């Protein structure tokens, strides 16, 4: 029998699906499917720490602005009551959807 490396064993372990649990209860995939189809509350069985929003992942970028433009952005952001970052995101989103 060929011995696998530790990294191979850990990778194989990660692929194994564990049954959903909530307050000590274990549900099979079939039972979770039934619960979902019936419109039941599945939140006790979800691990929200691993939740993702496809297409909405965040990637940090750095942008250099001329100081005068940055002051204008700050004034407008203050006027409408949002942060500088929120203002930039709003303006970019508005521009891209037009």
For the chain, the distance separating the N- and C-terminal CA atoms, rounded to the nearest angstrom, is: 63
Q: Which residues contact 76 (CB under 8 A, 6 or more apart)?
A: 87
pLDDT at 95: 94
What are the phi and psi torsion angles at 22 (to 5°)?
A: -155, 125
What are the phi and psi torsion angles at 6 (to 5°)?
A: -60, -40
pLDDT digits (tens, 9 = 90+) for 21-33: 666 567 788 888 9
Global pTM?
0.48
All structural domains of the chain with their residue ranges = 1-51, 54-98
Q: Is the pLDDT of residue 35 over 60?
A: yes
DSSP 23-62: TTEEE-HHHHHHHHHTT---GGG--GGG---TT-------
As a whole number, mean pLDDT of residues 33-54 equals: 85
Running DSSP on this structure, what letter comes out for residue 16? Answer: S
54-98 sits in which CATH class?
A: mainly alpha
pLDDT digits (tens, 9 = 90+) for 51-84: 788 888 888 999 999 999 999 999 999 999 999 9
């Amino acid at each position: 029998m060929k011995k696998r490396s530790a990294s191979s064993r850990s990778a194989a372990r990660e692929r194994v699906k564990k049954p959903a649990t909530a307050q000590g209860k274990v549900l099979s995939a079939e039972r979770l499917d039934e619960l979902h189809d019936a419109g039941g509350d599945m939140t006790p069985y979800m691990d929200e720490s691993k939740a993702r929003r496809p297409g909405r992942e965040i990637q940090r970028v750095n942008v250099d602005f001329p100081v005068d433009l940055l002051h204008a952005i700050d004034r407008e952001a203050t006027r409408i009551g949002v942060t500088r970052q929120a203002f930039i995101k709003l303006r970019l989103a508005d521009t891209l959807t037009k």
